[in-house]
Structures are given as C-alpha cells and as structure tokens.
Structure 1
Amino acid sequence: MNEETASPKYTNRLINEKSPYLLQHAHNPVDWLPWGEEAFAKAKAENKPVLVSVGYSTCHWCHVMEEESFNDEEVGEILNGNFVAIKVDREERPDIDALYMSVCQAMTGGGGWPLTVLLTPEKKPFYAGTYFPKRRMMGQVGLMEVLEQVKAKWETDSKKLQELGDQLLSELELSAANNRIDKDVELSEGLLHHAFQLYRTIFDDTNGGFGQAPKFPTPHNLSFLLAYSQKYNNAEALRMVEKTLESMYKGGIYDHIGFGFARYSTDEQWLVPHFEKMLFDNALLASAYVEAYQITQKPLYAEVAEGIFAYVLRELTSQEGGFYSAQDADSDGEEGAFYIFSTEEVEEALGPQEMKDYCSIYGITEEGISRGYSIPNLLEGTPDEMAEKLGITPLALRTRLEEWREKMFAYREQRVRPSIDDKVLTSWNSLMITALAKGAKALQKPEYAKAAEAAANFLWNRLRREDGRLLARYRDGEAAYPGYVDDYAFLMWGLTELYEATGQAVYLERALALKDGLLDLFQDEAEGGFFFTGKDAEQLPIRSKELYDGAMPSGNSVAVKVLWKLAAITQDVKLKGVAERTAALLGKAAMKYPASYAMFLQGVLVMTSGGTEWVLSGRQEDPALQEMISLAQRAFTPEASLLIHWEDPESKLAALLPHLKDKPAIGGKATAYICRDFACQEPITSLETVRELLVKQVEETENK
C-alpha cells in the first residue's frame, strides 16, 4: 500500500478534539489524553505521575519536540507505561498555561513553549521545563533522562514529590495573596513619567525597539508612548515610537510580499524573524500604526496598517466573519521556507533585469542570510531613499515595487503554504475588532468597520451560550470553554471602539451587557481586580489574577481602561469606583517596574487627565453632523470618548443613556457637547469651532 494512503500506525484520544494543536498529536505513539477529570482519575487509579505538555499549533519548537520525542516509539513506551500524558493547547486553555508557566518560571527562571510539566494526580507540579531533546544534547538534559529519573523517584519516594508540589503551590499562593489593594497607593502622573524614563533607558537608538535580541514588537508600549507624547508634548517619546515603527517595517519581521508581521525578531535589527504570524500581534501592531498615523499624518503608517488589514482579511478570515488564530512558521518541514528567496528564485519570478534592481532594494544577495537564501527587507533604505540612488522618482519606483510585489506574491503562492490554525478565539478576535474599528475611524474606510462588525456579530451569535455566558473558542461548529477575563475585557473594548466607528448603539449595548458579566463572574470584591477565570469555571489549584502586560495586555489593564470609559459614558459612579479599585491594585504592582504595564499606564493617563466625552447630536443625514463625526473619528484623542447621538425617537442610545436627552441638537443644527467629570461646556453648533478643537494637531502636522 502507498505510504501516503496507509492508515496511521497509532491513533490516540486526541483524534476527537477540535484543537489543531491537539490534532497534530493524534497519531503519536504516546497515549495522549486531553486535559480533564478522566485523565487525573486514571492517574489516581493507577498511581502514576502526570506529564502535561502545553503548546500551540504554530509553535516551531513544539513541532521539533513532537518530531524528536513524541513521534518516537521509545518515548511512547516509557510514557504509556509509567505516566499519564496530557496535551494542552495554551490558546484554548490559557488558565492552565498561566498556572504552570508560573511554576516553570519559579523553578527555572525562564519559560516558553513547548511547556513541559510533571504533576501529581492531584494536579500539583513538582518539575517543569520547556523544550527537551530526546537525549541529552550539548549539556541540555534529555526528555528520556527526565522521565527515567521521575519514574524511579515516583516508585521509591513519591511522597517527596508530593511534598515538593505542595511547597511550590504554597509559594504561588503566597505570591497571589500579595495581589491586593494597597490603600496607600495613589496613582499620579509621576508613574507615567517614571515609565517614560525607563523606556528611554532601554530604547535601542540604532535599531528601534527596546532591549536586546530577541526583540518583540509589544505594540502597547508604543501606544502608551504615543499617548504620552501627545499629553506632555514630548518629542522624545514620539521619536522612539517612530524609530521603532519604521525599523520594524523595514526589517524582515514585516512581510514585504504578503504583508503582516511575524511573531518576533531573533536579532536586534528586526531582520530575521520567528516566522509565525499571530492574529493578536497583528491586531495590536495595526492599532499602533493607525495611532501613529493619526498623530503624524505620515502615509507610511497608514500604508502598513492597511497592509496588516489586507493580510488578515485575505488569510485569516473565515466565511462566517471570525478571524483565525495564526499562520505557522513552518512549511514543507522547514521554518521560514515560504518566505525566503535566493537570487535565482527572484530571477524566475521577475526576469533577469528586474531581479537585479529588486535584489538591490530588498537586500537579497548571492550569499544570503543562510545557504544562499535571503529575507526581503528594506534595511538599506526606504523606497523613497532608494529612488534617489536609482535615479527615478519615488512615485515611479513605488509603481514598479507594487508590480514586483504582485509577481513575487504569485510566485510564492506556488510554494507549500504554511498551515493556518483556524480556531477562532474570542479575545484575539476582539483585539482585531478594536484595530479595524480604529482603522475605520482614522482612515475613514467603512470596509474596515464592516469587517469588524461581521466578526463582532459572529462572536455574539456563536460564542455565547443561551444564558449570555461568553465562550473562549470556536472551531468546526463547536464553541467551548467558559470565557476568561481577557475575553470579556477585550470584547468590551472592541465593541466600544466599534460603536464609535459606526454610531450603532447595539455595540455599546452589548459592551454594557458584558460589563455585567465581567463584574459578576470575575471581580474580586475583597481585594480588587479581576481573576483570570470566572467563578463558574474549572477550579485549578490556584485562581490567579494576571496583572502585567506581556506580549498581550492583561485583562485587568484593559478592564481599567474600558470600565473607566463606560463609567464616563453612562455616568455610573459605582462603575467608576470599580475602575479605580482595579487601578489601585495594578498601581501597586506597576510601581516596581511600570514599563511592564503599558496598557495599564494608558488607563492611568486617561484617569489622571479626567477624561473627555464628545457628544455629537443631530440628524443622521445632516452633512454637518457627518463632518463633525468624521473629524472626531480622525483625531488622536486617547483620553476621549465619542457618543454619536442620532436624534431618532427609536434610538437605542437614548434608552441606554437617558442623560443624552439634555444634549439635543440646538435649533435642529448639528451640535457638539464637550464634557469632563460629568460637567459639560456650552454646546457648539459651529463646524469650524469643532474643527479647530479636534483637528488642529492634524493640520499642524500636515503643514510640517
């Protein structure tokens, strides 16, 4: 029988799962089980330790460990005979991942994926690490060695391992207990200035970004600095952001052929990426580029944001409107194979004469970065800079570059494509909804609002139970897992941005409904803030709170920002108090190193500013009102909320926000109200006055 059509030699219980990552391991010789009580009951009944392996489908080193170890019959034999083996998709179960990653970091000082943890049948961890080769290699312990040692220790002194598990959990519980409000903490602008000084200290003046390789984009750092630069007229903060955004765009981390950003750069120049493309990275980056465009009006930033949107809408969008999670780093068994080019391949795509110019501009050489292959990049100069060297106009070069890009794209499409992780995650989708809504506003492109609406409606209709409980993951017709705090906070954020982009009150109504769920399911009324899991979710050994802003912002940080905004919009003093209590909790943690709390700092910036609400009232068809709305949407006003008040008796907004009846269109003319701390200035009916208030910073930058 042909090998390609032969039935798999092994099939385990993961074959019944929906997760692409778990399904990748369904034919390992390891008798994997999904996380659940059945697996731990088996471990208790058979008195075996538990190996938990956590990863995700587009993780390169997860693929390597599978190939080296989990596809190996010798590894399968020792695991099946002496352990209960559990596979976890960290993107479906970030609660499990967060708990045991904290164990790994406590035990080893580091973390990453694949995450490998050994537990007692009571879920208590006693050993943790990340990637292991099968056998010891270059001083790194091998998986077989670990398993053999644990097997022997479990047989002779399992009590000792139980005690170690108890000790580790006690330490984590003690750490979690410190996440409580400090009534002496007073949030002030000093925290913002301290953070700025830290960013300036670790800023890479040569290459942009912060710290050394590997370099992660961490776009919420940039969003904070943009807001900080505007509030304090700080040119240095803006310079750091622009240097970083331009350097990332020039580097190989940006896909100059198909658009979108890779996960991170392995070097300081942003040249050689880890090639996987994640939805949440691209969402947060699109937001940062849109915001930079709003401040500077530089076309490059709009161009990059639109490239990200084009990539996501082309590659990561389902027919139902939801967004897929990621695109793999590997294709045809090799990391980055889809994205790299030799000079010969460029010649095949473009012809000999065009090849020479293309390679000169995009840094493709005979030697390449590795084995004669290069990553297209613009580190030698932007198209405008290169046009001068080539003796042609920038417009002419840009026309040629687009023609070349289309040919290179078509050539690349003939290759084996990286796989797509097609599960839909509520939290990550919400970040892309936010980005698209921001793009729709800043660029005045309704097609982005339509895409955001399609995704928001998909989440609302397919990722909620009948009782309104939000769920975390959808794939292949199945929605599953009670939503986490990130799902609630991020979707509330996305819906408020979508309301501002469309004026459709239904999105604000949904955000307020989710607010009730957030408070009911996640709030720690005793110590402040929000737990990562709801009170109705599976209870792990520790119910933790995620506070700092890592690769993604924390749910608590986003909650501060969005709850403060909703409190201002609804004039809900109690909700304002919840936002302040959450901020007090995060403020205590942030004072140690505020640069790790960039999203939270954006909330602090608004809170210390008092916040502003723009209420624009009038008839929907009134051109003056539409112009006012356009001006408000285009302006960079991170401290402000926008309420679009159509004067319609059937308006849902009037029912949601009764106080708007006091803000009518004066004399039937489009009217703007500017409010702070529940007090409003005199209404404005002059379009020119609104223009002066909202657009002066835009016009100033346009004239520079």
Structure 2
Amino acid sequence: MERESFEDSEVAGLLNEHFISVKIDREERPDLDHIYMAACMVTNESGGWPLSVFIDSEKKPFFAGTYYPKHTRGQFMGFIELLGRISDLWNDNREVLKNSAEKIVEAITETAKTDKAKRISSNIAETAFKQFERNFDRQYGGFGNAPKFPSPHQLIFLLRYAKVGKESKATEMVEKTLLSMYKGGIYDHIGYGFSRYSTDRMWLEPHFEKMLYDNALLIIAYTECYKVTRNPLYSKLAKQIADYILRDMTSPEGGFYSAEDADSEGEEGKFYIWSTEEITDILGKDSGKQFCQIYDITHNGNFHGRSIPNLIKTDHTLADTEFCSSCLKKLYTVREQRIHPFKDDKILTSLNGLMIAALAVCGRALSSLEMLTAAQKAADFVLCKLYTDGSLKSRYRQGDVRYTAYAEDYSFLIWGLIELYEATFTPHYLTKALELTDLFISECWDEQNGGFFLNSKCGEQLITRSKEIYDGATPSANSVAAYNLIRLSRLTGIFGYNDKAQHILNCFSGQIERMPMGHSFSALALLSMTNNPKEITITAQNIENAQPALDLINSLYLPNATVIFYDGKNGLEETISMLKDYKIPKTGFLAYVCENRSCHPPTDNNDDLLYQLQD
C-alpha cells in the first residue's frame, strides 16, 4: 500500500488537500495502535496492518480499515474513492461522521473493560495444552495452517506445562516445532536469526523481516528446550541467535535495535536468496553442487526463481559437518558485500527488556560470559538513558529520548532485570526491578477493576485507557507483570506482590478462560504460582565458594525456582530482611531450599542439594 498509494503523487495531493496525514510507528506508540486497532475491529469485525484510521480533532475515530488499492479493484474499495467519499461526507454531512465517532468510542471503551473479577480456574493450563494439542501440525510443527508465526512464548509455556504436568506430548510438540523452524527458510542459515513468520505451512518461505522480540523469545525457548532435553542442537541455535543479535543488532552504547527490514534494493528477500550459479562461483563446482543439494538451492528456485537455503528435505545433522560450516562462512563473507536491509535502529525499553532476559537466561545456562556482559551493558544503558529523574521512558534513538513508558516497557524490563539478577547476583538489578515495579503500580494500576492500563496516567491522555491480556506476537504486559510479581514475592517475601498477581489473573479470568490458548503466558504465570515452586538461597563468603551449588542449579530445569546468593557483604539484606537470619559458612556454601513456606535443613553438599531440588 505504501508503493501503491502513499508514495503516489495523486493520492498525496488528495491527502494534502483534504486531510492532515500522520504516520504512526506502532512500536513507538502501542497505545495509539491498540485504540485504533480496536476501532477497526469494531467497524469491520477484523483488523490488521496497514491500518488507515480517520479521526476528528478530538482524536475520535469515525472510520477505519486496512488494505486499499489505489483504485477500486474487485471487492476492494480504492483509496482514491475512499478519500473522496470521506471528504464529501465531512463537508456535507459531518454529523453522520461525528455520530459514528461517538458510537465507535463507546464501543472501544466497552471492550476495554474487564469482566467482574472471579478466581481464575486452576485447570487453565491443562485446557490450554489440550487446545494446543488439537491445533498442532504433526508434520511440520507449529499450530494451525499458514501463515505460521514462531510464537515462542507458547512453546515456553508448553515446556513448563510438561514439567509440571508430566506430559511428554507437550515437550514433543515443542521439539518438533523448534526443529522444523530451524530446518526451514524462516531461519537464516548463513547469518543466523529468525524472520518474523512463514507464509507457508512448512516454514520455508518467510516474510524476511527480523524482529528483536521474536529472536529474544526464541533464545529463551531454545535454551529451555536444551535444558529439558540436553540436545546440543538447541543450545547451538540459542547461541547462534545471540551471536546474530550481538553482531548485527547491538548499538555501540549496548542497547539493542528493534528490527531489520524484509526488503533490500526494493525487493523482498533479495539479501537472503541465491542462485546455483552464485553458489558454484563462490564454492567451486563440486563443493557448490554438494552444498546446493544439502540446502535445496536449485536451478528453478523456491522463491521467485532463486532459492532460500533450507534443510527441510535434508538430514539436518549434515549442517554440523566441517564441510557445511566452511561453506556457510564463505557465503556469509560474500553476502556481507550485498546491500543490507534497512535497520530500524530505535532502541525500545520493552524489547530491550526481552533481550536482556533472553541473554541472561541463555548466558546463565551456557555459562557464557559474553552474553551476560552484553545483558548487563544493555541493562545499564536502559537504566541510565531511559530511566531518569524517577521516570521511565519508552524510546531512545541517536540521543533522542521520547514517550512516557507503557505497560510493556515496565513488564519486559522488570522481567529482564529479574533474570539478570539471578544470572549475575548483582543486587543492583533486583533493587531496580523492585523500584520499577512500585513505579509501575503507581503509574498504570487500575485501582477500580485491577490489572495494568497500557498507558501511564502521566502519559498523553487519549480517548480511553486500554488494558490487554491477550498474548499476540509477544506476551501481554499484564501476563508478564503477573509472572514478575509472583517471582518478586518469592525473592523478597513481600506477599502483597503475589496478591496483585492473583488479582491480575482474576480480573481477566473471563477472557483467559474463553480462550486459554491465546493466553499462554497467563497460564504460565498461574503454573508458577500454584505448583510447588522452590525458593533457593545460597550463602557463602564469596561467589567462588558458592559456585558448585550454583553450577548444579543452573544445569537443572527449574523454571519455577527463584535463586538468591548472599555473602553478607552485598547489602541485599536491606532489600530482603529475612536474609539476616541465614548463616554464612566460613568455608564452602550452605544451601537453603524452601517450598510451600516450608524449608529443608540447610545443606553444604551437592548430593543433598540435588535430592532437595528433585520433584
């Protein structure tokens, strides 16, 4: 639509004559996107992008729609004709449009209301699992038909449900999906990282845009699957995604960029696709032919006459051979000389929070100092540049800081800081997580009905304040907030946080129970609340003495556990007062394991610790 209409001089002339045009970056302004997408849903019973919304001077929408060709074509009204009709109505019969705006605003406000709070059903996770099972594609993994999105938070939920529910089918669905996505063209086999979604069922043909949020959550999904299965393929892929982010998506200051475009030189996917001639020119005739057979690069191609490298028809273990590794490095060097896709270099607090969480989770599991250092640098950058004078901001770009933080900025950053604390045991990150949580409650909590509003009370005042619990491309701010509050309650002993998490799940219970599969992170939060979570405290004179215990803990899949390290010198007792009662041994370590508010005797050896950590 950009090429057909917005860059067209005839369309531009009409827009400039009769309208004031504003282009919104939905990642910078999720509050506007949410409200006006709701307007589109109200008027059309469907939504999507590109989203065209017509509003009056009070910001009230009176018409909304998605795709329009330049001129009417078949069932699609033309944008030229639409602009003319709206302009005529505005000039000749404005009351019709004003009345439409009032009705739409009333409907949006109604949809933003939560149901009357009731205690959420305890079997939400089981129901969600059964829905995933019914929708699972047993041949290619994923859920439903094309287009297919990675939706890694759904896979993370299934891994945790498998742990709690002793349900091996859930793990099998995750493994099938993660392996199939890797084998497909949605994965960049040459430069690493995943594209946004696949246009087909088998994960072959992607929309080539790479999003920071997908890759962050996929690092967590592959890392957790590795911890469950111990299959080194999954740890390799988690590391490769992280390598891509640290190489291509990290600013000099340490923050993470938002996305890479699908197009280069005006053509989607041009940066990523190959011909057989190119491959043989680079690798030589024999090696080129062998590589093309492995990675499905053919004369006819699988994408507009050229080929997307993939392993769908191949034994994926061939990719681990020295031959393939050498070929991929040569192709990467040549590909780097191509014109790269546009990089969206804005740094968002929300998405940086997700990547901080991902690198902390993966760095902790794989003992990667590089990942943990990158996570710390990003956290320090966000806390320095975007959290100043007691106010959190949403976006940084080339020194320009804008927009009061939204709910997802708080939720995702707090998640990242919690993971970073448990990976590094730097008290500063836990202190900041608690500080931001209290600010989040002050700025966004709905005192009347519960749950967090999408926008802050100090932000721009719009026609309504929205709330969201549905998990879309990322988990919702409210579901992540519930998860964070549960963990912070366990880490600090502040039971009020757990009560607030329960309140969130209760006030959205009607929506969650109507479609548990669409609220997988809420189900994950509920699992973490109700299934014998372990609270682990390790005390020692220094981190080196505690390392044997920490290495054991980090090697296990303990998704509902919280871990604290205390040496008596880091000031953590000022945040967690109960630590004053814990003994610090002169040598070695002591491990305290509690669950259901009941504690095992402290132990100083890994055999006993392992026994206490078993379900």
Q: TM-score range by the shorter chain?
A: over 0.9
Q: Is the 8 A contact 1:666 1:685 kept in 2?
A: no
Aligned partner of 1:129 among 65, 74, 77: 65
Corresponding residue for residue 186 of structure 2: 253
**How far does residue 693 in structure 1 lie from its aligned partner after superposition?**
4.4
State the alpha-carbon separation in 1 of the partners of residues 486 and 291 from structure 2.
50
Asked if 1:325 corresponds to 2:258, the answer is: yes
Pick the aligned partner of 1:499 from 421, 434, 442: 421
Match of 1:661 among 559, 568, 580: 580
- Write the mapping of 1:615-626 to structure 2, written as runs, cut at 5 A: 615-623=537-545, 625-626=546-547
* 2:174 equivalent in structure 1: 241
1:515 to 437, 443, 446: 437
Q: Which amino acid aligns with 1:245?
A: L
SS in 2 for 1:162: helix
2:40 to 101, 104, 111: 104
1:636 and 2:557 correspond: yes
Q: Structure 1 residue 667: deviation in Å?
A: 5.7
Checking the alignment, whether the CA contact within 8 Å between 1:218 and 1:552 is kept in structure 2 is: yes
1:260: Cα distance to partner?
Answer: 0.1
Aligned residue in 1 for 2:24: 88
Amino acid aligned to 1:103: A
Asked if 1:187 is matched to 2:110, the reply is: no
Q: Which residue of 1 aligns with 2:195?
A: 262
Paired with 2:251 and 2:464, the residues of 1 have a C-alpha distance of: 36
Matches within 5 A, 1:436-475: 436-466=359-389, 468-475=390-397
User: Helix, strand or coil: the match of 2:542?
Assistant: coil
Partner in structure 2 of residue 389 of structure 1: none
Deviations 1:398-424 (CA, angstroms, capped at 9, x unpaired): 111110011110111121110101000
State the alpha-carbon separation in 1 of the partners of residues 342 and 13 from structure 2: 30
| Alignment-mate amino acid for residue 682 of structure 1 | P
* Equivalent residues in 2 for 1:580-591, closer than 5 Å: 580-591=502-513
Deviation of 1:629 (Å): 0.9
Counterpart AA for 2:281: E
How many matched pairs? Answer: 615
* 1:168 equivalenced with 2:104 (yes/no): yes
* Corresponding residue of 1:380: 313
The separation in 1 between residues aligned to 2:281 and 2:71, in whole angstroms, is 43
Gapped runs of 5+ residues in structure 1?
Answer: 1-64, 387-393, 698-704
| 8 Å CA contact retained: 1:383, 1:398 | no
Query: How far, CA to CA, are the matches of 2:189 and 2:567 in structure 1?
Result: 42
CA contact (8 A) 2:593 2:612 kept: no
**Mapped partners of 1:186, 1:383: distance in 2:** 43
Q: Following the alignment from structure 2 to structure 1, what is the Cα–Cα distance between the partners of residues 74 and 306?
A: 27
1:131-170 pair list within 5 angstroms:
131-170=67-106
Q: Write the distance in 2 (CA, Å) between the matches of 1:109 and 1:356.
A: 51
Following TM superposition, by how much is the alpha carbon of 1:107 offset from its aligned partner in structure 2, in angstroms?
A: 2.0
Equivalent in the alignment of 1:220: 153
TM norm structure 1: 0.86
Contact kept, 8 Å, 1:250 with 1:377, in 2: the verdict is yes
Residue of structure 1 aligned with 2:329, choices 394, 397, 406: 406
Counterpart-to-counterpart distance in 1, 2:188 and 2:41: 32
1:66 aligned residue: 2
Matching of residue 115 in structure 1 with residue 48 in structure 2: no
Q: Percent identity?
A: 43
Residue pair 1:560, 1:600 contacting (<8 A) in 2 also = yes
Q: Are the equivalent residues in 2 in contact too, given 1:628–1:691 (CA < 8 A)? A: no
Instruction: Answer whether contact 2:117 2:508 (CA < 8 A) is retained.
Output: no
Q: 8 Å contact 2:552–2:606 — kept in the other structure?
A: no
Task: Give the AA of the match of 1:182.
Answer: A
Shift of 1:678: 3.6
Quote the residue 2:514 is aligned against: 592
Q: Deviations over 1:673-702 (max 9, x none)?
A: 1122443221111222223445x79xxxxx
Q: Report the secondary structure of 1:638's partner residue.
A: coil
Q: Post-superposition shift, 1:665?
A: 2.7
Instruction: Please report how far the alpha carbon of residue 621 of structure 1 lies from its aligned counterpart in structure 2 after TM superposition.
Output: 4.8
Q: For the structure 1 residues 186 and 325, does the alpha-carbon distance in structure 2 shift closer, same or farther, using more than 3 Å as the test?
A: closer
Query: CA shift at 1:503, angstroms?
Result: 1.0
Report if aligned partners of 1:616, 1:645 keep a CA contact under 8 Å in 2: yes
SS at match of 1:236: helix
Does the aligned pair in 1 maintain the 2:159–2:174 contact within 8 Å? yes
Q: Judge which range, 606-615 or 398-407, deviates more.
A: 606-615
SS at match of 2:22: strand
TM-score, normalization by structure 2:
0.98
| Structure 2 unmatched ranges of 5 or more | none
Q: Deviations over 1:566-588 (max 9, x none)?
A: 11111112222111111212322
Question: Residue 350 of structure 2 is aligned with which of 424, 427, 439?
Answer: 427
- Tell me how far 1:201 sits from its aligned partner: 0.5
**What's the offset of the Cα at 1:603?**
0.6
* CA RMSD, Structure 1 to Structure 2 (Å): 1.5
Q: Secondary structure, in 3 states, of the residue corresponding to 1:153?
A: helix
Worse overlay, 502-511 or 371-380: 371-380
- The one-letter amino acid paired with 2:253 is E
Considering Cα pairs closer than 8 Å and 6+ residues apart, tell me whether 1 or 2 has the greater RCO. Answer: 2
- For 1:191-202, list aligned pairs within 5 A: 191-202=124-135
Find the residue that maps to 2:321 and give its secondary structure.
Answer: helix
